[in-house]
Amino acid sequence: MGRSYFVDEAVEEYLSGLQAAPGSCVTGLLAGQSSPQRDFVVLAVQTPHRESEGQPKASKGVGPLDDIDVEWVTEHAKQVSRMLPGGLSVLGLFLLTPPELSKDAQNALKRLIFAMEKYIIKGRLWELSEEDVTDRVTLHICSKTKKLVCKTFDVKDPKSSAKPADWKYQTGISSSWPMLTCSVEVDLQIPVTGSSSDNTDKCMKDGLRRWAKQIEAAYCLVNGRQALDDSELISGQKKNPKTTNRQTLPTRIFVSDEQVELDERSTALVQVCSGSMRVRGVVHCRAYIHNNKPKVRHAAQAIKRDLINTVCSRVEMFLEDLLINEGSQKGLCSEQQALPRRVFAPMSISGLSVCDYMFPDESTADVAERLKEMLDCETPEEDIDTSLESIFSAISGSEITDSHDDDSSKHVISEIQAENPIIQKAPQYYAGVAIAAAVALLATVTSLLYFN
């Protein structure tokens, strides 16, 4: 008795349209939602071309299967995970091979699936519960016969063997999946001990972990219902498969400051810090839940995990970016910088949203490019919704230092902030000026040549 995967017809179309150079393989991801009874696949994306392909690595194996860039496949999986809203995740991999490689395909898939899972969960701040499905699907496609072999591996058990699974195509799998939304105010004060950038990262991680625990324990109202017991999310409504309307369910989240390890103290916890970091602003969260009698608590869990993921992803991306641009932490002046903000775009056929993160100096064109590269889908720029989170505006100097009793740092902050907006506009501004100047120069030269 294996798992059953209900797969959207759009995925069937995508998979049958895959082109592989003769003798070579195509890898890709399968994404969707797992529930204890059944699984749903709504997206398939082939692994994008790796740009540094100019010098192919010396073939270490005997064939194309060994040449699969495991690192790149897992990196792609991680990037795609960041782009999926709550409730959706990477469920597995597909591998298209020529007939002669079919018998080794299973081993390759097993290696890939475990490597992928290991990489994706790194840095994840919420724990799996007993109800979470740990089976991941592997789909092997023969490029000649188009035959599909679908198996699952339990990624909790490294020694697990492949179990057979059903792969069934259906239309409009996710068309009436309800969408949960909420906007959440985040205000985390994280003390930083020590001065190296490693320390900063660790402190940030610890601070985020504490906050994530608070969110996991938080009370949640989904569409006015609490996730108290086994109650169903949408009860009293006849399931009408013809309904194409997607319900939007507003969600509200309530936290308490209770932290078990702090409870029995009789004194305050005092740390000498070299500084602090504050993450402050509003994030927009979204999650989808299947409509096969979903329970309120699963829906609540999906949106909470989306909340934790979105804050973590942005901080991770920001710190990665900082490391590239600045080298090591400057750490000498105080400043406020915008974290990448979340934008949403609809996936072409299923109508589910995917998301991306825009740095302050980026535009929707950059987002569209990333969506094409990572999710292999064309999105018109006007469909990209940037309205859900607005650009931060520098808050006044006094607000940043509100917990300080040292006045001297105030003026430094306001100076830096005054500089920031200008710096952010610079690349686009100067680019425009440069182009205009070039055009003018060209025109002048041309006219000189012609009229002389």
Q: Which is nearer to other proteins, 242 or 265 (CB)?
A: 265
Stretch in the footprint of other proteins (CB under 8 A) among 11-19, 68-76, 147-155, 399-407: 399-407
Q: Is residue 402 within the footprint of other proteins (CB under 8 A)?
A: yes
Q: Which of residues 228-257 bind other proteins (CB under 8 A)?
A: 228, 251-257
Q: Which of residues 301-330 bind other proteins (CB under 8 A)?
A: 311, 314-315, 318
Q: Which is nearer to other proteins, 45 or 283 (CB)?
A: 283
Distance in Å, CB of 131 to other proteins, minimum = 21
Q: Which is nearer to other proteins, 255 or 439 (CB)?
A: 255
Distance in Å, CB of 132 to other proteins, minimum = 24
> What are the CA-CA distances from residue 195 to residues 47, 200, 223, 320 (Å)?
39, 7, 45, 18
- 39 token code pair: 């699984």
Stretch in the footprint of other proteins (CB under 8 A) among 15-23, 96-104, 169-177, 214-222: 214-222
Distance in Å, CB of 439 to other proteins, minimum = 35
Q: Which of residues 59-118 bind other proteins (CB under 8 A)?
A: none
For tokens 């339990």, what's the residue? 154
Neighbours of 35 (CB within 10 A): 18
Instruction: Work out which of 48, 63, 98, 331 binds other proteins, going by CB under 8 A.
Output: 331
The alpha carbon of residue 153 and the mean position of all alpha carbons in its chain are separated, in whole angstroms, by: 23
Q: Which is nearer to other proteins, 18 or 221 (CB)?
A: 221
Which helix (H) or strand (E) segment holds residue 434: the answer is helix 408-451
Distance in Å, CB of 430 to other proteins, minimum = 24
Q: Are 117 and 110 in contact (CB under 8 A)?
A: no
For tokens 């040549």, what's the residue? 449
Q: Which is nearer to other proteins, 292 or 390 (CB)?
A: 390
Q: Is residue 262 within the footprint of other proteins (CB under 8 A)?
A: yes
Helix (H, G, I), strand (E, B) or coil at 398: helix
For tokens 């018998």, what's the residue? 103
Q: Is residue 409 within the footprint of other proteins (CB under 8 A)?
A: yes
Stretch in the footprint of other proteins (CB under 8 A) among 35-43, 139-147, 260-268, 286-294: 260-268
User: Pseudo-torsion of CA 77, 295, 289, 85, nearest 10°?
Assistant: -50
> What are the CA-CA distances from residue 64 to residues 20, 116, 221 (Å)?
12, 19, 51
- On the 0-12 / 13-18 / 19+ scale of CB atoms within 10 A, 294 is buried
Instruction: Work out which of 161, 337, 348, 398 binds other proteins, going by CB under 8 A.
Output: 337
Residues shown for the chain? 452
Q: Which is nearer to other proteins, 161 or 390 (CB)?
A: 390
| Count of chain residues binding other proteins (CB under 8 A) | 74
Q: Which is nearer to other proteins, 152 or 200 (CB)?
A: 200
Helix (H, G, I), strand (E, B) or coil at 293: coil
Which helix (H) or strand (E) segment holds residue 399: the answer is helix 397-400
Closest CA to 117 of 139, 97, 137: 137
Q: Which of residues 168-197 bind other proteins (CB under 8 A)?
A: 182-186, 189, 191
Q: Which is nearer to other proteins, 15 or 283 (CB)?
A: 283
Q: Which of residues 275-294 bind other proteins (CB under 8 A)?
A: 275-284
Distance in Å, CB of 443 to other proteins, minimum = 41
Please say whether the dihedral angle defined by the alpha carbons of residues 303, 305, 306 and 310, taken in this order, is positive or negative. Answer: positive
